[in-house]
Every structure is written in structure tokens, then in C-alpha cells.
């Protein structure tokens, strides 16, 4: 309301000035050649030179060739971040007869130029934060455009609905009191600003506090009210970088939600949120350049539009939110761009290769297969043990009562001990040799079975990882689509304000926002589901967070990476050769075939043993050495006392012998065993041929799919680019009232589908490529550089032998 009254007063003053200074105004509208443009900065700022260069480039480009525009070095004024300094700088250029147009590049100097009245020459104020709150002149033309209505005065303001802005910020972090941090020079230049900010917040049921900020934040921090619930940081370009960082840290330490007017960069620096993307200085420079061009062409600056629509997008710093204890709702999270969204202290960082390796290391089935292979190694040793020498030892002792010994006339000793050592060696046994050889082949089969399982696990983990990346891409696209819908809603609201759109259009976009928010929530849920599935494959806690890395299509570990694909499958002839090469690789390395080869080798040895069983005997040699000791027996009796002669037993005895055995008749069992073994060998041979056909078929099939999905990447990207360009055209036509809201919604939906298809195309190719790895019997992700180099050498040699030289990659 204050702003409206002030606008009316300024309008009356402007009319009076026109009557009193008509000659000056007319002179200001006269073209010049060359035209000198003077600029005023509020104070030293790190981006002043960048800002000035961008504005000068745009102004000179638009003015040429009709006008020659100069930017004299003497007409560049840099104030000292005070209202007095800005006023002096502006007045100096207004009084300089060699300056034709004045540009003010700061909110303080812009405020003075607008409040001054009676401008003797055109002024374009490039930075006006809030014309209503600052009480600046505003008029609405018949065409619905807002202008200053003051002769020689044009300005650019960032259009926005303050009440809607406050309500949206309250959704992020509820508050009743909002403390504005404002450049104290701006407060001094625009005394009405503080009152109007307070009145504006009362309209939405909130209270405002205003704190001026100088070149240091100490006084501002001391002035922050203890009951303040939130802080709104307006542009504080006068603060050195170190001071702004101190402000951010202090607000976080106090657990104060802080919102940024400037945009995304300050949120990235640590403030909680902003409703705007970064202020587009290039677009702003183009708008100012258009104003200068029209002014030089003879138009009155007071009739030029003041509104400059900023790109809105809610941005949240999730690290700050966690630090200050703010927990935004699903409604907010679905719409916002989330910075620093990785959970705190996340130490897990996965890539495609590391995910596959971790799955292989942790998979329970593979761990069980490792145990089976380890047990098999012992079975091989046990089977071979029968062919090595066997050594046995035995011993014992016996004692009887003396009466019984005496009753035997001393022939039976009271105590007897004996020990023997026996050695045997199987000299020839084809059955034993066959069992040892068969067990070795069975062990090789176990190892190949484990290798097959390892490939399956690696493929599953790689596809699971790619599913996570795909889900993240879909979530990002849905968020961007929601942002686009929000932008279209703002466009519809602008069209509604100027009377070229109906209320139903605004409602239709509000409905579309609700639909898009639901899509964002569903995309987020799908991403969480994919992460849980991957964690399960990696034997991790199901909701343990992790970071991901995108896949580089040029990575040699992909085997069919970008260089290989472009060089070897960019035409049907080369692709056919490449399929032949990969098929040969698969047939040579397939663990399924190697497993069958081991089974066939085992069965061949079983057939040989069955045939030899008819004539090959089992030959063995063995011997033993026995030592006997006695007490109380014959050694204690005098042989002369006995009525008959005796021979004392030897204390050490040995024996050695060789034996051979050959079954002569087994009731036909040997013949049946041989026939069964031969039939089973034939069965395995047929199974191996069938498996080889399946391996080759699978390899060639997935290669065709991968080739098609590779070609689809560029096509999908082209379609997405076309859809984006079409959307831009339709949006422009909708903004001009040429096309309807349905045309824009159709174009937006088409762009959404095209973006999803473009993202899907990349991951479709990578998933197909993981299938190629599995079908080829090797995972390049596990290969060392030397192995990758050897693969590349074999590939080049295969093409060379086929008489084809691939075209080099451009």
C-alpha cells in the first residue's frame, strides 16, 4: 500500500518535471553519434569487471551498425558501498555533458537514480530488487506491461510474488518471524523499504525484522533477534568473500534456516534454500542492451518494461538442512534441486567395476562354491594317494599270570610285546590310475562351475548398478520436468495478469504440477528400490547409502567400448567380422563348455579303464618287519632241563612279496561297464555340441542387441534434442498467445519421453554389453591392463586375417 501511494506521488512529480523541463527531455531523446554510456557500481566487487564487460558487449552488439556506442574509462564510477558515495557517483555522470546514457549496476545507485526525479538524461537502473517494497514508480500500459512512467527512467526488476515466495519458504522451514539481512547502504537510500517489508509479511501472517549489514558481519550477527526463526539474505555484494563465509558458518552454528535472494550459488555456499536459479547476468545484460538500443532509437525510457522474469527453481542444501535440523516434507523434496544430498559420512563409493568385484567377493553361493572347490582339491589328493607307497605300523603287548606260564613248562612267556612295520606299493592298477585322473577332471569341472557362477554374479551386480544409475537419471529428469511445469505455471500466471489467459490455464498447470510431483515421488521410490536390490547383491545392509560414478563409454574394460564400437561395428560387414571374433572367443573361454570338456575328459578316462579292465592286472608289492620281545618264557628256561629239544624263536622277522590279480569272469559286469561308459561319453559329446550352439547363439544374439542399442544412443539423443527445440518453439508461441495450453503440454510430455528415452538408450546399451561379457565367458571389468591389451591385439589380428582394415576413430 505504501508503494502504491508513493507511485502516485512520483507520477505527479514526474508530470511537473516534464512541464518544467520539456526541453531537456526532448534533448535526451535525440540520437547521438557516437553515444557515450557511463556506468556506476555501488562499490568494489570481484565480479565488476565481468559484469561490465558482459553489458558492454551486449550493448555494442545490439546498437551496431545503427549506433556507435562508447564506454569512456572516465565515465566509470565505483562508489564506496555507501548511499552518499552512490549518490555522488550518479550525480557526477548526470552532470557530465559528454555522457549520453547512464547505467547503474547496483541496488543502491539504482535506488538513488529512481528516487531522484527530474532526470536530465536517460538512466537505466539495472538492479532493482523489489519495486513495491522500495516504493518505486510503476504503471501498467494498455498492453499489460509494467513501466516506470517517469521520463528518462527505465529500470529492471526481478519479477516475483513476495507473498507466494514467503509461503513457499515456509514450506521449507516453517517460521513466524523472518529477519531480512539488507545492505545498510540500501536501507539508508530507501528509508521506506523497512516499513514495506514488514507490511508485506503481515499479509501472510508473519513478522519481519530488518538488520542492516555493512562491510563486516559482526554487528549484524549481534543484532539478530534471539527469537528469530529464519533469515532472508538479500544481495550483500559489499561483503568480502571471507565475511560472507563467516556469516554462513554463524547461521549454521545457530541452527538458523537461511534463504538466499541471489540464487543457487549462495545455497551451494551453505545457505539453506533459494527459490531462484543463479541470476542470469547474460540475460540481464541483454535486457539492458535492448533498453539502451530503444532509448538511442528515440523511445522514452519511461515507457520501457521493467519486469525481468527470473528462472525459479527451489534449491536446497541438504547438508545444511541436516546440520540445522530441518527436515523438508516430501512435497518440498519432490520439487527442489537437492545439493549436497549425499548422506553424511558416506564412505562407500561404487563404480561399475567395484560393484561387480564386491558382489563376487561377498556372494554366499560363490563362497559355498569356493568351499566345494577346496574340498575337491582334497578329493584329488585322496584319489592319487592309492598310487603312492602305503606304510603301516602295528604293535601290541600281552601278559599272563605266572601259574599258567609255569604250567606250560615255561614255553609260554609271562610277558610278550611285538611291533611290525609294513610297506606296500601298487605297482600297476589301471583302475586306481583312472580314479585319480577322473577326480582331477572332476575338480576342473568344479572350478569351471564356480567360474560360471562368478560370471552370473558379476553380471547381476553390474546390471543392478546400471539399474541404479538409470533410476537416478529418471528421477533427475522427472525433477527437471516438474521445474519446467513450475516455469509454465509462472508463465500462465503472467499471461493471466495481463489478461491474455483464462483462470482455467493457471488451474490446469497447478493440476499438472500435482501430477509431476507424484511422478517425482514414484521415481524416487524406484531409485530406492534399485539401491536396495544392489545392496542385497553386495551382501550389504539393505538401506546402507552409497555414492555412484557414471560409466565412461570409452573405458577399455568394457571390451566393446566407444573406440571399439566405432571402429569395428560401424557397418554391417565389419560387424559380422566382429561377431565371428567374439564367437570364437566365447567358444574358447566359455566356462559351460570348459565344464563339459572336463566331464568328457573324465569320461574318456573311464572308458579307457573299462576297456583295460579285460586284460590289465593289478600288481602290488609289499613287505613287513616284525620285532618280538618276551619275558618269563623259553629264554628263562635251561634247555638241558627239558625232556625234549627246543628252538628259541627269533626276535626279528621280515617278509616281502609281489602279487598280481586279474578277474577272469565277473558275470558280464566288465562288458556292461565298458558299454555304459562309452554311451555316456557319446552323450557328453552331444551335450557339448548342443551347449556350443547355445553359447554361440547367445553371444551373437546379445551382440545384435548391443549393436542396435549402441546405434540407438545417438538417435535417442537426436530425438531428445529435437523435442527440446520443439518445446522451446511451442513455449515461445504459447507465451505470445499463438498456441494453446494443450499444445504446450503435448510438447512438454513429448520432451519428457524423449529425455527418458535418451537416458534409457545409454543404459540399455550398457546392460546389453554386460550380457555380451557374460556370453563371451569373460568380464573385462576384471581384466588387468595386460589382458585388455592382449584382447585388443587378438581383435586387430582377427580383422587383419579377415582382410578388413577398420576406419580409425575421428
Q: What is the per-residue pLDDT for 23?
A: 37
Judged against a pLDDT cut of 90, whether residue 79 lies above it is answered with yes
Judged against a pLDDT cut of 90, whether residue 634 lies above it is answered with no
Q: What is the per-residue pLDDT for 594?
A: 92
Judged against a pLDDT cut of 50, whether residue 20 lies above it is answered with no
In this prediction, residues 509-521 reach a mean pLDDT of 88
Q: What is the per-residue pLDDT for 274?
A: 92
Average pLDDT, the chain: 85
**Rounded to 5 degrees, what are φ and ψ at 546?**
-155, 155
In this prediction, residues 785-806 reach a mean pLDDT of 87
Give the Cα separation of 663 and 429 in Å (integer). Answer: 13
Q: What is the per-residue pLDDT for 808?
A: 61
Cβ(550)–Cβ(759) below 8 Å: no
Q: What is the per-residue pLDDT for 262?
A: 87
Q: What is the per-residue pLDDT for 77?
A: 93
Confidence of residue 652 (pLDDT cuts 50, 70, 90): confident
Strand partners, 158: 308
Helix (H, G, I), strand (E, B) or coil at 538: coil
In this prediction, residues 518-524 reach a mean pLDDT of 90
Judged against a pLDDT cut of 70, whether residue 105 lies above it is answered with yes
Confidence of residue 650 (pLDDT cuts 50, 70, 90): confident
Confidence of residue 7 (pLDDT cuts 50, 70, 90): very low
Q: What is the per-residue pLDDT for 642?
A: 56
Cβ(19)–Cβ(216) below 8 Å: no
Q: What is the per-residue pLDDT for 82?
A: 92
- Among 92-96, 125-129, 266-270, where is mean pLDDT lowest? 125-129
pLDDT tens-digit profile of 43-52? 998 888 888 8
Confidence of residue 12 (pLDDT cuts 50, 70, 90): very low
Q: What is the per-residue pLDDT for 639?
A: 56
Pairwise pLDDT comparison (564 vs 191), residue with the higher score: 191
Pairwise pLDDT comparison (511 vs 735), residue with the higher score: 511
- Among 403-412, 424-433, 784-793, where is mean pLDDT lowest? 403-412
In this prediction, residues 299-307 reach a mean pLDDT of 92
Give the Cα separation of 514 and 304 in Å (integer). Answer: 36
pLDDT tens-digit profile of 692-708? 999 999 999 999 998 88
Give the Cα separation of 48 and 43 in Å (integer). Answer: 9
| Residue-wise burial string across 75-95, b where 16 or more C-beta atoms lie within 10 A, e elsewhere | bbbbbebbbebbbbbbeebbe
Judged against a pLDDT cut of 60, whether residue 722 lies above it is answered with yes
Judged against a pLDDT cut of 50, whether residue 140 lies above it is answered with yes
Cβ(204)–Cβ(166) below 8 Å: yes
Pairwise pLDDT comparison (489 vs 86), residue with the higher score: 86
DSSP 455-482: HHHHHHHHHHHHHHHHHHHHHHHHHHHH
Judged against a pLDDT cut of 80, whether residue 414 lies above it is answered with no
Q: What is the per-residue pLDDT for 338?
A: 86
Checking 689-696 for CB contacts under 8 A at 24+ apart, the result is 691/590, 691/592, 691/593, 691/596, 692/587, 692/590, 692/593, 695/586, 695/587, 695/590, 695/592, 695/593, 695/775, 695/777, 696/583, 696/586, 696/587
In this prediction, residues 201-218 reach a mean pLDDT of 87
Confidence of residue 24 (pLDDT cuts 50, 70, 90): very low
Q: What is the per-residue pLDDT for 644?
A: 57
Give the Cα separation of 418 and 395 in Å (integer). Answer: 5
pLDDT tens-digit profile of 561-614? 776 777 777 788 888 998 999 999 999 989 999 999 999 999 999 999 999 989
- Among 49-53, 465-469, 500-504, where is mean pLDDT lowest? 500-504
* Sign of CA pseudo-dihedral 606, 611, 613, 617: negative
Q: ω into residue 799 within 30 of 0, thus cis?
A: no
Q: What is the per-residue pLDDT for 640?
A: 60
Closest listed residue to residue 21, CA positions, set 87, 157, 120: 120
Confidence of residue 247 (pLDDT cuts 50, 70, 90): very high
Q: Is 181 exposed, middle or buried (0-12, 13-18, 19+ CB in 10 A)?
A: buried
Find the angle CA(476)-CA(479)-CA(483) to the nearest 5 degrees. 135
Closest listed residue to residue 319, CA positions, set 248, 374, 383, 378: 248
Cβ(782)–Cβ(357) below 8 Å: yes
Give the Cα separation of 545 and 344 in Å (integer). Answer: 9
Judged against a pLDDT cut of 90, whether residue 734 lies above it is answered with no
Q: What is the per-residue pLDDT for 291?
A: 92
In this prediction, residues 354-378 reach a mean pLDDT of 92
| E strand or H helix at 313 | strand 312-317
In this prediction, residues 118-131 reach a mean pLDDT of 91
Judged against a pLDDT cut of 60, whether residue 653 lies above it is answered with yes
pTM (two decimals)? 0.72
Judged against a pLDDT cut of 70, whether residue 453 lies above it is answered with yes
In this prediction, residues 283-311 reach a mean pLDDT of 89
Q: What is the per-residue pLDDT for 2?
A: 32
Confidence of residue 86 (pLDDT cuts 50, 70, 90): very high
Judged against a pLDDT cut of 70, whether residue 385 lies above it is answered with yes
Pairwise pLDDT comparison (453 vs 13), residue with the higher score: 453
Judged against a pLDDT cut of 80, whether residue 559 lies above it is answered with no
Q: What is the per-residue pLDDT for 411?
A: 60
Q: What is the per-residue pLDDT for 493?
A: 78
Give the Cα separation of 33 and 47 in Å (integer). Answer: 30
Give the Cα separation of 427 and 430 in Å (integer). Answer: 10
In this prediction, residues 630-645 reach a mean pLDDT of 60
- Among 4-8, 189-193, 382-386, 797-801, where is mean pLDDT lowest? 4-8
Give the Cα separation of 614 and 631 in Å (integer). Answer: 53
Amino acid at each position: 500500500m505504501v508503494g502504491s501511494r508513493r507511485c502516485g506521488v512520483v507520477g505527479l512529480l514526474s508530470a511537473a518535471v516534464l512541464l518544467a523541463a520539456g526541453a531537456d527531455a526532448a534533448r535526451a531523446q535525440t540520437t547521438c553519434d557516437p553515444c557515450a554510456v557511463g556506468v556506476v557500481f555501488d562499490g568494489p566487487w570481484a565480479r565488476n569487471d565481468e559484469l561490465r564487460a558482459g553489458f558492454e558487449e551486449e550493448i555494442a552488439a545490439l546498437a551496431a551498425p545503427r549506433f556507435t556506442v562508447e564506454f569512456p574509462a572516465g565515465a566509470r564510477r565505483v562508489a564506496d558501498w555507501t548511499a552518499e558515495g552512490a549518490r555522488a557517483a550518479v550525480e557526477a555522470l548526470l552532470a557530465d555533458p559528454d555522457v549520453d546514457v547512464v547505467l547503474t549496476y547496483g541496488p543502491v545507485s539504482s535506488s538513488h537514480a529512481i528516487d531522484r526525479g527530474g532526470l536530465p538524461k536517460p538512466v537505466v537502473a539495472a538492479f532493482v530488487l523489489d519495486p513495491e517494497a522500495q516504493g518505486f514508480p510503476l504503471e501498467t500500459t494498455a498492453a499489460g506491461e509494467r513501466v516506470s512512467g517517469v521520463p528518462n527512467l527505465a529500470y529492471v526488476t526481478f519479477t516475483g510474488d513476495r507473498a507466494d515466495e514467503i509461503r513457499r519458504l515456509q514450506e521449507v522451514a516453517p517460521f513466524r518471524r523472518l529477519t531480512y539481512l539488507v545492505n545498510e547502504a540500501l536501507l539508508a537510500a530507501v528509508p521506506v523499504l523497512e516499513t514495506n517489508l514488514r507490511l508485506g509479511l503481515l499479509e501472510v501472517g508473519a513478522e519481519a525484522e530488518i538488520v542492516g549489514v555493512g562491510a563486516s558481519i559482526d554487528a549484524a550477527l549481534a543484532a539478530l533477534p534471539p527469537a528469530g526463526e529464519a533469515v532472508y539474505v538479500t544481495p550483500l555484494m559489499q561483503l568480502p568473500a571471507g565475511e560472507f563465509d563467516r556469516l554462513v558458518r554463524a547461521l549454521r552454528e545457530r541452527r538458523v534456516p537461511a534463504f538466499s535472494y541471489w540464487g543457487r550459488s549462495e545455497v551451494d555456499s551453505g545457505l539453506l534454500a533459494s527459490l531462484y536459479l543463479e541470476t542470469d547476468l547474460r540475460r540481464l545484460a541483454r535486457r539492458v542492451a535492448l533498453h539502451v538500443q530503444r532509448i538511442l532509437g528515440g523511445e522514452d525510457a519511461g515507457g520501457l518494461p521493467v519486469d525481468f522474469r527470473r528462472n525459479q527453481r527451489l534449491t536446497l542444501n541438504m547438508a545444511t538442512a541436516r546440520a540445522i535440523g530441518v527436515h523438508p516434507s516430501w512435497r518440498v523434496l519432490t520439487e527442489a534441486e537437492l545439493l549436497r544430498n549425499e548422506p553424511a559420512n558416506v564412505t562407500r563409493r561404487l563404480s561399475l567395476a567395484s560393484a561387480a568385484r564386491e558382489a563376487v567377493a561377498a556372494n554366499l553361493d560363490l563362497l559355498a562354491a569356493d568351499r566345494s572347490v577346496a574340498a575337491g582339491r582334497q578329493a584329488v589328493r585322496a584319489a592319487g594317494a592309492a598310487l603312492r607307497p602305503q606304510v603301516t605300523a602295528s604293535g601290541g603287548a600281552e601278559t599272563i599270570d605266572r601259574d599258567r606260564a609255569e604250567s606250560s613248562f615255561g614255553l609260554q612267556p609271562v610277558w610278550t610285546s611285538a611291533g611290525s612295520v609294513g610297506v606296500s606299493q601298487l605297482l600297476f592298477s589301471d583302475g586306481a590310475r583312472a580314479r585319480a585322473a577322473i577326480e582331477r577332471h572332476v575338480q576342473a569341472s568344479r572350478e569351471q562351475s564356480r567360474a560360471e557362477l562368478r560370471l552370473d554374479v558379476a553380471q547381476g551386480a553390474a546390471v543392478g548398478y546400471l539399474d541404479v544409475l538409470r533410476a537416478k537419471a529418471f528421477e533427475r529428469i522427472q525433477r527437471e520436468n516438474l521445474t519446467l511445469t513450475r516455469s509454465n505455471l509462472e508463465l500462465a500466471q503472467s499471461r493471466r495478469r495481463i489478461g491474455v489467459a483464462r483462470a482455467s490455464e493457471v488451474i490446469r498447470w497447478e493440476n499438472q504440477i500435482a501430477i509431476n510431483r507424484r511422478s517425482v515421488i514414484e521415481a524416487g521410490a524406484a531409485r530406492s528400490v534399485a539401491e536396495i536390490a544392489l545392496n542385497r547383491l553386495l551382501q550389504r545392509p539393505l538401506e546402507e547409502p552409497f555414492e555412484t560414478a557414471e560409466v565412461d563409454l570409452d573405458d577399455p574394460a568394457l571390451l566393446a567400448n566407444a573406440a571399439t564400437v566405432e571402429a569395428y561395428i560401424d557397418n554391417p560387414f565389419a560387424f559380422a567380422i566382429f561377431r565371428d571374433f567374439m564367437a570364437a572367443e566365447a567358444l574358447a573361454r566359455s566356462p559351460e563348455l570348459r565344464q563339459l570338456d572336463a566331464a568328457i575328459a573324465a569320461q574318456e578316462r573311464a572308458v579307457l579303464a573299462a576297456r583295460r579292465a579285460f586284460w590289465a592286472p593289478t600288481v602290488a608289492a609289499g613287505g613287513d618287519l616284525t620285532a618280538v620281545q618276551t619275558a618269563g618264557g623259553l629264554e628263562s628256561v635251561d634247555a638241558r632241563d627239558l625232556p625234549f629239544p627246543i628252538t628259541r624263536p627269533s626276535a626279528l622277522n621280515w617278509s616281502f612279496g609281489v602279487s598280481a590279480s586279474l578277474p577272469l569272469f565277473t558275470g558280464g559286469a566288465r562288458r556292461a561297464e565298458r558299454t555304459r561308459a562309452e554311451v555316456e561319453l557319446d552323450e557328453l559329446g552331444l551335450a557339448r555340441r548342443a551347449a556350443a550352439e547355445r553359447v554361440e547363439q547367445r553371444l551373437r544374439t546379445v551382440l545384435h542387441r548391443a549393436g542396435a542399442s549402441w546405434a540407438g544412443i545417438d538417435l535417442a539423443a537426436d530425438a531428445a534434442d529435437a523435442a527440446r527445440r520443439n518445446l522451446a518453439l511451442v513455449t515461445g508461441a504459447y507465451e505470445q498467445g499463438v498456441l494453446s495450453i494443450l499444445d504446450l503440454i503435448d510438447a512438454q510430455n513429448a520432451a519428457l519421453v524423449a529425455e527418458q528415452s535418451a537416458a534409457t538408450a545409454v543404459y540399455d546399451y550398457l546392460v546389453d554389453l554386460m550380457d555380451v561379457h557374460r556370453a563371451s565367458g569373460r568380464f573385462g571389468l576384471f581384466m588387468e591392463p595386460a589382458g585388455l591389451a592382449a584382447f585388443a591385439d587378438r581383435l586387430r589380428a582377427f580383422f587383419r586375417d579377415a582382410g578388413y582394415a577398420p576406419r580409425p576413430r575421428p
